[in-house]
Structure 1
Amino acid sequence: MEKQITKKYDNGEVTVVWQPHMCIHSTICFKGLPMVFDPRKRPWITPEGGTTDAIVEQIKKCPSGALSYYMNNEIEGPVELEGDTVVEILSNGPLLVYGNLKVKDTAGNETKKSQVTAFCRCGHSGNKPYCDGSHVKVKFEG
């Protein structure tokens, strides 16, 4: 299992939280806001490259939940979404759940999730029940 680290980057107003072990490499972040998210650079996240509103909107599009944020003037923690929970099946990819939810593991431990959570459908993830992008390597179809 990949080491579960968390990295944080801020522009003074918003802190971008990146959890690489959750990333499914959808490329949505850097295709949508390349001035902030550029995997060719180190660090690859430079929040001073975009407005706070643009960064927040781009993070909300992250299908795995590897990117999240919190406003620096608020207590650190996940930003909860309002509205209905939506489930989407990505062709040849994960099951995406948009909204606030609790995930209970086999030991009974609960983890709160908000925004978007990607669940493995291929059975090959090293981070089950979450998707880690293994579906690409195994050429999952479904």
Structure 2
Amino acid sequence: MSDKQVVEYPGAEIDVQWDGRLCIHIGECGTAAGELFVGGREPWCVPDGCSKAEVREIIERCPSGALTYRDKDGGPEVAPAENIVTLAYNGPLYAHGELVIDGIPEDLPGVSHRAALCRCGASANKPFCDNSHLAAGFEDFGAVGERGAPLHALGGPLAIKPLADGPLLVKGNLSIRAASGRLAWEGTETALCRCGASQNKPFCDGSHRAAGFKSD
């Protein structure tokens, strides 16, 4: 893989882009069966190595938005019908939906549908995860105690606003899944902890103030 921050992999029908600013090496790409991604090969990604439909499906597996595509004949990536935030075991929040993340540069197209958001407080790339939770020893197994209120509709824009020195304020139709995969919470507005100190994870309980959390 190239050391460049953003790498383009052109194909006849579809192009793939990898953005190192977002990649946390989950490996959904490298472990995918087929010839799209092959470790040690140069180039690592060959969009013509499989069908266009396979390219789209594999790229959309990337939970951080580091991988995106440009379909030369088809439409762009479509937001899923439901907005879901999944808690990773001792790791970030994986957001998948029609994401509208406040303050994010326009040159990060992948995070309009997929993003890995820091919840340990240690990332140097806030609001995104950069795997700092590993060195920080962040521990949260991804259980959710609250239930919220049943949704009357699914999907639609999910506004995510990182508050200065505070939580992620989320507005829109949202389902939260525990790390076990359980549908745990539903609602249209909540504040999600990103300092790592809340006693009511994944929700903010104001602990960021005592913890001296800084978002910059």
- The residue number in structure 2 matching 1:123 is 121
What SS is found at the alignment partner of 2:21? Answer: helix
| Counterpart Cα distance in 2 of 1:118 and 1:130 | 6
TM-score for the superposition, normalised by structure 2: 0.55
The 5 A counterparts of 1:1-142 are 5-33=5-33, 35-73=35-73, 79-105=77-103, 113-142=111-140
Change (3 A) 1:70 1:103: same
What SS is found at the alignment partner of 1:26? Answer: coil
Q: Deviations over 1:77-128 (max 9, x none)?
A: x6231412111111111101101111113xxx66573331110112222211
CA contact (8 A) 2:99 2:114 kept: no
| Counterpart Cα distance in 2 of 1:28 and 1:89 | 17
Give the superposed CA RMSD: 2.4
CA displacement at 1:34 relative to structure 2: 5.1
TM-score for the superposition, normalised by structure 1: 0.81
| Counterpart Cα distance in 1 of 2:35 and 2:24 | 21
| Structure 2 segments unaligned to the other structure (5+ residues) | 141-216
| Counterpart Cα distance in 2 of 1:138 and 1:4 | 26
CA displacement at 1:139 relative to structure 2: 3.8
Q: Give the structure with the larger helix fraction.
A: 1
| Counterpart Cα distance in 2 of 1:39 and 1:45 | 9
Percent identity (aligned): 34
**Structure with more contact order per residue of length (Cα contacts < 8 Å, sep ≥ 6):** 1
Which amino acid in 1 is paired with 2:45? I
What SS is found at the alignment partner of 1:28? Answer: coil
CA displacement at 1:66 relative to structure 2: 0.3
Please tell me whether Structure 1 or Structure 2 has the larger radius of gyration of its CA atoms.
Answer: 2
| Structure 1 segments unaligned to the other structure (5+ residues) | none
CA contact (8 A) 1:96 1:116 kept: yes
Which amino acid in 2 is paired with 1:131? C
